Each structure stands twice: as C-alpha cells, then as structure tokens.
Structure 1
Amino acid sequence: MLEIISGRSVKKLDADFISDRGITSHRLMENAAQAFCDWFEKKYHRNDRIGICCGHGNNGGDGLAIARLLWRKGFDVVVFLVGDHDNASADCRLNRELLPDKLPAVSLTEEDIQHIEFDFDVIIDALLGIGVNRPLSGDFLALVKRLNRLIHVNKIAVDIPSGLPSDECVEGDAFIADITISFQFPKYSLLFPEHAGFVGHLKVANIGISQPFFGQFSEGKYYLQYKDVAKRHLRFGRFSHKGDFGKVLVCGGSYGSMGALKMAATASLRTGSGLVTCLAPKCGMGILQSSLPEAQVLTGEGENELAGSVDSESLSRFDAIGIGPGMGTSQTSSCFLGKFLENYKGPLVIDADGINILAKQPGLLNYLNENVILTPHVKEFERLVGPCQNHKERLDKALEFSMKHGCILILKGAHTAISLPNGKQYFNSTGNKHMATGGSGDVLTGMITSFLGQGYSVENAAVCGVYQHGLAGQIASKNRLRGTIASDIVEAIPRTYILLKID
C-alpha cells in the first residue's frame, strides 16, 4: 500500500533515502525524470512537438531533466524557463547546465508570455512543485493562465499541477492538466474532488524509494493498489458449498424504488454469495421473484414500505446484512431501522436511506459498532455531520466519525475514502467518472455485504468491495463510456476476479 505523506515531510524523506543509498539528490531527480520518460514514451510519438515549462526550483529541475532525456530519445522538445534561474536550486542549476546546446531553451518574461505562440502537441508543466504555500502570482500566474487557455493540446503536470498545494485546497489559479504524473505516491490534495479539474487522470510513477522510508512520516493515509487487494481475499476449496459462501440478507425497497434493492441483491450474487435473501415490502414480491429468481424474497407487513417485526432469532441465521437501498425515510421505515439495529449485532452495511434515517434520528448512532460499515455519498455524509467547507474538512470529519462511533465509514466518490476506527484512511485508485450513475452505490452495498457474508473481516470487506466496485466500473465503461448504467457494473463484477487472479 502506498503511504501518503505530507508535503512538508517529502524533503526529509528524500534526504533519508539519499543518505541511506549513498546517492546524490541529483541522482534521485534523474530517477524521477527517467520514470516520467518511461511512461511518456509509451503514450506519445517522436513527431509530437513538446513544450516543457520549467521553474527555478526542484520541480523545474525535474522538467529540465525530462527535456534532456526526451530530446536524446529523438523527441522534438523546447524548454521555457520561468522565474529567477540565476538563483535556482542546486539540482535545477545542474540540469540547466546539462541541457544539450542544440536543445532550445527560451527564457520567458511576462510580455513574452502574452505574445508567444505555444504551437505544441504536448505541454509539460514543471513550474512549481509541492512547496507551493500561496496563490500564484507574477510570471507564473500569467503563464499558467495562458497555458490553461490553450485547446487541442495534451497537458501533463510533473508531480503536481503548478499552483496546487500538496495538502490543502487551492486558492486562486492552478495549471489544468489532462494527466498528472505524481512521483512515488499521490500527494494528498490530488485526491480532493475540488481539484479533479486540475489533476485530470492521476498516475503514480515509482522512483525507487522503498516503503520502509515512509514509516517515520506516517499519518495513517494510504493509497490502495492492485497488490494490496488480492492478498486480502479468502480462498475456497473444491469441496466448498453454498453455505460456505455466506447467507446474506438485503433489506430495502419501496413503491417505485424496488430497483435499488434488486441491484444490491444481484451485486451480492455476482460477488459470490451462496444464498441471498431480499427483505422487501409486499409490493416487491412479484418484481423481485420474476427479475431475480436466484434470490429468496421475504416481505414485511407493509404493502408499500418496509415494516414488520425484526427479532434477533430471525436475523441470526444470516451471516451479514445490508440495509437501506430504496427503503425510504418514512416514519415506518425509521421504526423498522431502529428495531433492526437494536436486535442485530452482526456484520452490517448501512447505505442510502438507512444513512438518511440515522441523520434524522441521531440517537440511533449509539447502536453503531465495530461490525458496521456506513457507505454515504457526500450529501448523505453531510446530513450526518453537517456542512463542510471543502473535501479536506469532509475527510477529517469522516475519520473523526469513524473513531467516535467505532465503525467503518466509506465516503463515496472519486478516490473513495475508507475511514477506520483505528485512525487509518485508505483511498481508492480504481473507478472513473462514468460510474456517476443511479444505482452505482447500491451495487457497492451488495458487494460489501457479500464479502462480509463470505467471512471477510469488516476491513477487508470494505477494501475489497470498494476496489473491485471501481474496477468493475472501469471494465463496464470501457466501451459504453457515458452510457454506462449500474447494471453494467454488476455484470462486470466477475471479470474483476479474473484480473485479480482470484478463483
């Protein structure tokens, strides 16, 4: 798992690694430039015209090293120098000296910025790095504004888009990248939804710093990757039967919203549950029996709303339960959830209207415990904890909520954040914008409930569910793009096991 450390600790991290390996800071910069170029060569052609904008700090040094390496590989490169290069950082000065004489390097003034033609196929931003602690100004602001107005140009940020602070929300302007190549780990602010328009598609390039060097700077934040998820999965033998794969109950649905329950139940089945039962209002019996014959259906007393007695003995036969999709927030549903929480202490996922009811009746939060996973989207979360000024505050409150109530809270969205009672936060690396469609959250509820029912710990169920949900979305949207719907994500779930090599 990639550890996310604060920008203020990166300089010390680099120094420790350099000292331990007996290399120079310039060598580490060269590693970063080489990692960038290795990625770049696979994406772009030798006849592409490339403009690289370099500041006078270490981010500019990265850009100058990238320019040299790409030029030597036959790319058509022009360097633009911005800032006080007479007082540049030591490694930036060295990389300036190492530029080949035939590689064009142009110093830009503010007047030049307004009139020069940026006739390029690719613009690479290496102006300012993670040390930014105030809004852009002067030549840097003028150039970023000019570059942001360019169209039909691929724009790439080196480590972080210029103008974005590494750990806080942006003030003022910043470079708008199509792709950001972040070195070794994603910087915290790259995961904020407010910054999505600046970051574009996020890639992480390994520059050779091994994980043990991160320990002393740990803040409990981690970026999930493929290798972190596969090892969290349980394996089943050839003599396993449907009982071994878990008996789960999915509760929800109401008149006009039965599809949410159906999608959650289907997702549980596709994730591998041995037996899935739906608990729905009476109006859902025919719909669920005909559209999902693999599931059993129980109904409460209510014709259009989920209602009825919920006793411990009836619930104890299930290995895990998911509640909330399509349930509604009526008084009847609220009473049902209250009785349910009072009588069931096993593995539980609460989503959608279940969370909205908790927000309306905060006394029910006392029933939350270490077996519970909440999966709110941003609006549902703010109903629970109150308005937040930005996503950083939202993430802080999510972790505070998890630790206070002893449950896991999954804040859904780009780079879905999993907050744990022990103070850790995991950020997801899978998923894309095409998953922003009705029912996608219901699919996640079904997947996590399924993993709980199969015997996964609550942490592993949350991690595997979130990661594979995003992966299924990527698979489903590959050919459908904006036409992706939640049912497509459900149908892609089995493919995620193939990619993770989990049988």
Structure 2
Amino acid sequence: MLEIISGSSVKKLDTDFITEKGITSHRLMENAALAFCDWFEENYHRNDKVGIFCGPGNNGGDGLAIARLLWRKGYDIIVFLVGDTEKASADCRLNRELLPDKLPAISMSSDDIAHMEFDLNVVVDAMLGIGVNRPLAGDFLNMVVKLNDLSNVRKVAVDIPTGLPADECLQGEALKADVTVSFQYPKFSLMFPEHAGYVGVLHVVGIGIGNKFMRQFTESKYYLQPSDISKRHLNFSRFAHKGDFGRVLLVGGSYGSIGAVRMSAEAALRTGSGLATCFVPACGVDVIQASLPEVQVISSSGEKRLCWDEGDMGVNRFDAVGIGPGMGGSAETVTFLESFLNVYKGPKVIDADAINILSNHKKLLNYLDKDAILTPHIKEFERLVGHCENHKQRLGKALEFSSEHSCVLVLKGAHTSISFPDGTQYFNSTGNKHMATGGAGDVLTGMITSFLGQGYGTKNAVLCGVFQHGLAGEIASEDKKRGTIATDIIQAIPKSYLQLNVD
C-alpha cells in the first residue's frame, strides 16, 4: 500500500533517506530516472522523436538524467532548457554536465518559445515539480501554453505536471499531460477530479524507498495497489456450501427503476454471494424473476414503491443488506427507510436514493453506525454535507462525516476515496472514464454488499469492493471503450478475480 505524503514532507523524506542509506542526492535522482526510463521503454518506441523539457530545479535534473539514459538506449532525444539556468540546483547542474556532447540541448528564450515549432511525437515534462506554490508566469507559463496547444503529441509528466501544486487545487494554468509518472507515491493533488485533465493516466514507479521508511511520514492517506487487495480476500474450503458465501438482501426499485436493484443483485452474485434476495415493489417481482432466476424476490405491499410491512420480512436473517438503488424518494419510501434502518442491525451499504433521503431527513443519520457504508457520488455527497469549493474540501468533509457518524464514506469518482472513522483515507487506483455510465454505482453497491455477506468485515469488504469494481470496469472496457455499460462491468467481475489470482 502506497503512502500519500504531502509535498512539504518530501524534502525531509528525501534527506532522511539519503542520510540513512549513505547515498548522495544525485544517486536518488538517478534511481528515479532509471525507474522512469524502465516505464518509458515499455510504452514508447525508439523511433519516436522525444522532446524533454527541463527546468532549473530538481525536476529538471530528473529530466536531464532521463534524457541521458534514453539517448544511450537509442531514443531520438532533444532537450529544451526552460528558465534561468544560472539558478539551477546542484543536481540539475551536475546532470547538465553529464549530458553527452552529441545530445542536443537548446536553451529556450522567450522569443524561442513564442515562435518555435516543435516536430515531436512525445513531450516529457520536467520543468517544475512539487515545489510550485503560485500560478505559473513568464517563460514557464508561455511554454506550458505552447505545449498544451500541440496536437497529436503524447505528453508525459515527470512526477507531477508543471504548474500543478502537490497538495492544493490548481490556480492558473498547468501542463495537460496524457500520462503522469509519479515517483514512489502519488502526490495528494493527483487524486483531485478537478486535475484529471492535467494528470491524465497516473502511474507510480518505485525508486527504492521502502514502505517501512515511508511510514515515518504517514499522514493516514493511502493509494491502493493489487497486492493490497489480494491478501484481503478470504479463502473458502472445498466443503463450503452456499450459506457460507453469505445471504444478502438488495433493497430498492420503484416503478420504472427496477433495473437498478436488479443490477445490484446480479453484481452480488457475480462477486460470490451464495444466496441473494431482492426486496422490491410488487411491480418489480416479475421483472426480477424473469431476468435473474438465480435470486429470490420478496414483494413489498406497495405496487409501485416500497412500503414497510413490519414483521413480514425477517430482515435480520440476512448477513448484509444493500439499500437504495432505484427506490425513489416518495413519502412512503421515506417511512420505509426509517423503519428498515431501525429494524435491521447488520452490515449495510446505503446508496443512491437512500442517501438522498438521508440528506432531506437528517434525523435518519442517527441510524448510521460502524456497520454502515455510504456510497455517494459527488452531487449526492454535497446534498449530505453542503456545497464544497473544491475536492480537497470534499475530502476533508468526508473524513469529518465519517468520524461524526461512525460510518464509512465512499466518495465515488476518479480515484474513489474511502474515509474511515479512525481518520484514515484510502484512494483507489483502478477504474477509468468508460465507467461513467448509468448503473455503475448500483454494481458497486452489489459488490460491497456481497463481500460484507461473505464475512469480509467492513474494511476489507469496502476496499476489495471498490478496487475490484474499478478493475472490472477496466477489463470490460478493453474492447468496448466508451460503449461500456454497467452490465458489462458485472460480466467482467469474475475476470477481476483471475487477474488478482484469487480463487
């Protein structure tokens, strides 16, 4: 599991690591460059024409080291020097001196930036790193604007795109990277959806700083990796029966919206639930029975919306419940949700319309507890807590909400965040833009509910559910791209187990 460390801690981390290992800062920079080049070789051909744009700081030093290493590997490299080279850092100056004489390195004046045309296939951005604390200006701004205007050119940012602060929201302009290759750990601001158009696809490469050392700088924020998930999965005996894999109940649906709870139920089955039951309005019974014969169905006394018939359901016989998809927000449904939350005491996932009801009827928040997992998207979340100026503020409020109500808060989106009452916050590394489709959230509800029912416990259930949901989305979209729909994600869930090597 990768720590997410603030930019203000990086300098001390690097200094302490260099001291402990008895290496130079240049050696650590060389490690970073080698790691970047290993990644680059896997993704770009030697016949690509690569322009590496280097500033005067340590990020520029990384870029110069990368240029030297890639040139020696046979890449067609040209270096562009941006900014005041007289003020270059010591390691940047050293890497400038180490450039081979035959490797072209051009110092860019303001006039050059304004008029030069770049004939490149790939841009590597190493102008400014995590030390940026104000909007770009001067040559750096002009160069970023110039590079952002280049079409049909892949842009790769070294550690962080130029202009993007490490811990705050962007003010002004920044380089719009297609890919960001971050060293050792992702920077906090790379998790913000406002920055998605600047970060592109995020890759994290190791540079030799182990997790044990980095824990000294922990800020209780973590970036999930496949190895973190595989070890959280339970192993079941060959003698296990369907009851051992959990009895789950999916509650939701209303006239015209039965599909939502149906997808949650199928997702629960594909995730491994032994027994799945739907509780739906009477109008949904035939729909569920005909389209998903593997589940049982309980009918509400309400024809088009959920109503509570106290004592009729025996809900506490279920190991976990997912509630909310497609249930609407009528007065009857509000009464139903309050009665249900009052009666059911087990692990639960609260999603979609159930969250909107909580937002409009705040007294129902009193029913939340350590066994409750809320899964809002950004708009649903802001209905709960009020308007947020930016994602950093949202993440802070997510932690506050989780702590105040002793529940788990899953804030869905790119790099979905998971906030726990103890103050820890996890960020997902799986998923892509092709999952932005109706019903994807209902699939997540079913997956987390399934893991809860299988006995994973709250923390493992939510981490495994969020990660594998994103992974299934990646698998489903490999050949469908923007044609991916929610049921495609469901069908890819079994392949996510195969990819994680989980039996």
> Per the shorter chain, which TM-score range?
over 0.9
Instruction: Name the counterpart of 2:253.
Output: 253
Instruction: Name the counterpart of 2:86.
Output: 86
Contact 1:323 1:350 in 2 (8 A): yes
Instruction: Name the counterpart of 2:500.
Output: 500
How is 1:83-482 mapped onto 2 (pairs within 5 angstroms)? Answer: 83-311=83-311, 314-482=314-482
Letter in 2 for 1:17: F
Partners of 2:156 and 2:313 in 1: CA distance? 58
Q: Secondary structure at the match of 1:53?
A: strand
Runs of 4+ in 1 over 3 A off after TM superposition: 310-313
* CA deviation map 1:126-146 (0-9, x unaligned): 000000000000110010000
Residue 309 of structure 1 and its aligned partner are, at CA, apart by 2.0
Partners of 1:123 and 1:313 in 2: CA distance? 61
Partners of 1:310 and 1:437 in 2: CA distance? 36
Residue 84 of structure 1 and its aligned partner are, at CA, apart by 1.3
How is 1:39-50 mapped onto 2 (pairs within 5 angstroms)? Answer: 39-50=39-50
Partners of 1:429 and 1:248 in 2: CA distance? 27
Instruction: Name the counterpart of 1:490.
Output: 490
Partners of 1:73 and 1:320 in 2: CA distance? 55
Q: Secondary structure at the match of 2:14?
A: helix
Letter in 2 for 1:73: K
Contact 1:312 1:343 in 2 (8 A): no
Contact 1:35 1:206 in 2 (8 A): yes
Q: Secondary structure at the match of 2:228?
A: helix
Partners of 1:167 and 1:344 in 2: CA distance? 41
* CA deviation map 1:152-203 (0-9, x unaligned): 1111100000000000000000001011000001101011000000001110
Partners of 1:215 and 1:41 in 2: CA distance? 31
Q: Secondary structure at the match of 2:166?
A: coil
User: Do the aligned partners of residues 362 and 312 (structure 1) sit closer, same or farther apart at CA in structure 2, a change above 3 Å counting?
Assistant: farther
Q: Secondary structure at the match of 1:479?
A: coil
Partners of 1:80 and 1:452 in 2: CA distance? 54
Partners of 2:328 and 2:194 in 1: CA distance? 30
Contact 2:308 2:340 in 1 (8 A): no
Q: Secondary structure at the match of 2:341?
A: helix
User: Do the aligned partners of residues 311 and 129 (structure 1) sit closer, same or farther apart at CA in structure 2, a change above 3 Å counting?
Assistant: farther
Partners of 1:249 and 1:107 in 2: CA distance? 65
User: Do the aligned partners of residues 160 and 312 (structure 1) sit closer, same or farther apart at CA in structure 2, a change above 3 Å counting?
Assistant: farther
Gaps in structure 1 of 5+ consecutive residues = none
Instruction: Name the counterpart of 2:6.
Output: 6
Letter in 1 for 2:208: G
* CA deviation map 1:57-104 (0-9, x unaligned): 000000000000011111111111111111210100100010111111
Letter in 2 for 1:64: L
User: Do the aligned partners of residues 32 and 310 (structure 1) sit closer, same or farther apart at CA in structure 2, a change above 3 Å counting?
Assistant: farther
TM-score, reference length from structure 2 = 0.99
Partners of 1:498 and 1:101 in 2: CA distance? 50
Contact 2:315 2:344 in 1 (8 A): yes
Q: Secondary structure at the match of 1:494?
A: helix
Letter in 2 for 1:215: R
Aligned-pair identity (%): 68
| 1:61 and 2:96 correspond | no
Deviates more, 1:256-265 or 1:36-45: 36-45
Letter in 1 for 2:91: D
* CA deviation map 1:274-317 (0-9, x unaligned): 11010000001110110110000001110000112244981111
Q: Secondary structure at the match of 1:431?
A: coil
Contact 1:56 1:83 in 2 (8 A): yes
* CA deviation map 1:2-30 (0-9, x unaligned): 00000010011011111111100000000
Contact 2:316 2:345 in 1 (8 A): no
Residue 216 of structure 1 and its aligned partner are, at CA, apart by 2.4
Residue 212 of structure 1 and its aligned partner are, at CA, apart by 1.5
TM-score, reference length from structure 1 = 0.99
Aligned residues: 503
